[in-house]
């Protein structure tokens, strides 16, 4: 039993893969966590079921018709949960005085404003929404500092790195004796597929990840390895690591979730079964440890761990992400926005798999070196890159 009062939690993106894993951990520890608010974009049925289970004070839907459907479902069930709708409501449930902890698990740039609001309000921010950090790195880290927020990474690699770093690490690798950050990557479903077959892969094949069950956007990102590229940029901001000391290591078993290489030759790794409830439970209870419902790691069943260098010809998105990080300014925002548009077009069967890096590269070539030091500048860079990407997509032949 936890001795203090339960921590009050807002889950942004409650109906998604991370949102559901978060609520699974919450349900195991009713003495520790209390749900203040849940959000979802369109899936009112799924959010209704979660509201009836967790009885939050507020539920926020992205769309008015979905909000009405949710409200009538809640009324019929005699629930006291109040339904709100839209972006301002997301910021409200992220920053409310009653909230201690915010799980930022909306997918894509749509999560930026509420995640930023939680940081500014000094919450304990559990960051799954890596796109928000890629888009607005400096701005977001500044908001964490000025708001007095505690930022804990949920992405399994970054959570592993956090666990492998010394307590109180202050975003200064040299001061902590860190030589390299080793970011592991599964290599996704196409690590060994014949290169000639990649042009014709379908969204269903791209979403069939060998080790993890995730939302469709991040699944495609894993197949292109843009996910690892976004994670390189995420690691840069979270840990103050320059691009030169971040190394991607392909590790197909997804048992080592990442490592820190120290100047004395020590390499500290975090291992575990590929189950997001581990990093979620770690961050939720930090600095304590709680049961996450994850089965123990069976090293004898795993038997071996393999490592490979990433193939940048096969995975141009990883190269593009390193280039965007090194270019700085608006480039990471352009990379992220162009990727979101290209992945959506691929999932809609509008473009082929290999068009994804081509669209992103074309957008990055148009991007200048302007600084993005305000939310308006970030959002303008994002909007402009989406226009470029949509124009680029419309120039390409229909994939099928």
Closer of 254 and 367 to ligand NAD (Cβ): 254
Out of ligand NAD, Mg ion, none, what residue 331 binds, judged by CB under 5 to 8 A for its kind, is none
> Looking only at residues 187 through 216 of this chain, which bind ligand NAD when binding is defined by CB under 6 A?
212, 214-215
* 218 binding ligand NAD? (CB under 6 A): yes
> Looking only at residues 68 through 87 of this chain, which bind Mg ion when binding is defined by CB under 5 A?
none
Out of ligand NAD, Mg ion, none, what residue 238 binds, judged by CB under 5 to 8 A for its kind, is none
Angstrom distances, CA of residue 388 to CA of 184, 339, 364, 376, 381: 32, 11, 10, 18, 11
Closer of 79 and 278 to ligand NAD (Cβ): 278
Length of the chain: 400
Using CB under 5 A as the binding criterion, the count of chain residues that bind Mg ion stands at 3
The values of phi and psi at residue 179, to 5°, are: -90, -50
* 382 binding ligand NAD? (CB under 6 A): no
Q: Which position among 34, 155, 234, 382 is part of the footprint of Mg ion (CB under 5 A)?
A: 155
Out of Mg ion, ligand NAD, none, what residue 40 binds, judged by CB under 5 to 8 A for its kind, is ligand NAD
* 66 binding ligand NAD? (CB under 6 A): no
Q: Which position among 10, 17, 22, 367 is part of the footprint of ligand NAD (CB under 6 A)?
A: 17
* 278 binding ligand NAD? (CB under 6 A): no
Whether 337 and 109 have beta carbons less than 8 Å apart is answered as: yes
Q: How far apart are CA 147 and CA 239, in angstroms?
A: 18
Q: How far apart are CA 52 and CA 72, in angstroms?
A: 13
Selection from 75, 90, 92, 93 nearest residue 37 by Cα: 93
Neighbours of 64 (CB within 10 A): 10
With residues binned 3-state (H G I as helix, E B as strand, rest as coil), the percentages for the chain, rounded to 5, are 50, 15, 35
Which residues lie closer than 8 Å to 75 by C-beta, 6 or more apart? none
Residue 75, both tokens: 């009324």
Q: Which position among 6, 28, 41, 354 is part of the footprint of ligand NAD (CB under 6 A)?
A: 41
Q: Which position among 23, 25, 26, 40 is part of the footprint of ligand NAD (CB under 6 A)?
A: 40
DSSP 29-92: -TTTEEEEEEEESS-HHHHHHHHHHH--SEEEESSHHHHHHHHHHHHHTT--PEEEESHHHHHH
Selection from 120, 163, 123, 166 nearest residue 143 by Cα: 120
* 393 binding ligand NAD? (CB under 6 A): no
* 382 binding Mg ion? (CB under 5 A): no
> Looking only at residues 93 through 152 of this chain, which bind ligand NAD when binding is defined by CB under 6 A?
105-107, 110, 128-131
Q: How far is the CB of 15 from ligand NAD (least distance, A)?
A: 4
Stretch in the footprint of ligand NAD (CB under 6 A) among 10-18, 282-290, 302-310, 365-373 = 10-18
Q: How far apart are CA 33 and CA 175, in angstroms?
A: 36
Which residues contact ligand NAD (rule: CB under 6 A)? 13-19, 40-41, 43, 62, 105-107, 110, 128-131, 155, 212, 214-215, 217-218, 276
Which residues contact Mg ion (rule: CB under 5 A)? 155-157
């Amino acid at each position: 039993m936890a001795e203090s009062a339960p921590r009050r939690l807002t889950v942004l993106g409650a109906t998604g893969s991370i949102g559901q894993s978060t609520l699974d951990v919450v349900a195991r520890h009713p003495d520790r966590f209390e749900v203040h608010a849940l959000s979802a974009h369109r899936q009112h049925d799924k959010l209704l079921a979660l509201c009836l289970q967790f009885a939050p004070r507020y539920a926020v839907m992205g769309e008015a018709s979905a909000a009405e459907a949710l409200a009538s479902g809640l009324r019929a069930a005699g629930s006291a949960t109040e339904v709100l709708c839209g972006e301002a409501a997301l910021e409200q449930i992220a920053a409310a005085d009653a909230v201690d902890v915010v799980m930022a698990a909306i997918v894509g740039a749509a999560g930026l404003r509420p995640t930023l609001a939680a940081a500014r309000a000094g919450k304990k921010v559990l960051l799954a929404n890596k796109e928000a950090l890629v888009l607005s790195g400096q701005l977001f880290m500044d908001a964490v500092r000025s708001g007095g927020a505690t930022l804990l990474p949920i992405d399994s690699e970054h959570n592993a790195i956090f666990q492998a770093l010394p307590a109180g690490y202050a975003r200064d690798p040299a001061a902590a004796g860190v030589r390299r950050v080793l970011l592991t990557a599964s290599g996704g479903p196409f690590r060994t597929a014949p290169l000639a077959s990649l042009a014709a892969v379908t969204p269903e094949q791209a979403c069939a990840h060998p080790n993890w069950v995730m939302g469709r956007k991040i699944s495609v990102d894993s197949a292109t390895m843009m996910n690892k590229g976004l994670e390189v940029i995420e690691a840069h901001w979270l840990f103050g690591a320059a691009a030169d000391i971040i190394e991607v290591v392909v590790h197909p078993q997804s048992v080592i979730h990442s490592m820190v290489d120290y100047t004395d030759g020590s390499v500290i790794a975090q291992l575990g079964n590929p189950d997001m409830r581990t990093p979620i439970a770690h961050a939720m209870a930090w600095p304590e440890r709680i049961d996450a419902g994850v089965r123990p790691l069976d090293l004898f069943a795993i038997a071996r761990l393999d490592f490979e260098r990433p193939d940048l010809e096969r995975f141009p998105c990883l190269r593009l992400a390193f280039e965007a990080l090194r270019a700085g300014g608006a480039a990471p925002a352009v990379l992220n926005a162009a990727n979101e548009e290209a992945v959506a077009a691929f999932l809609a069967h509008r473009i082929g798999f290999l068009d994804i890096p081509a669209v992103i590269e074309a957008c990055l070539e148009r991007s200048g070196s302007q600084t993005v030091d305000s939310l308006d500048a970030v959002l303008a860079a994002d909007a402009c890159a989406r226009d470029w990407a949509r124009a680029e997509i419309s120039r390409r032949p229909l994939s099928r």
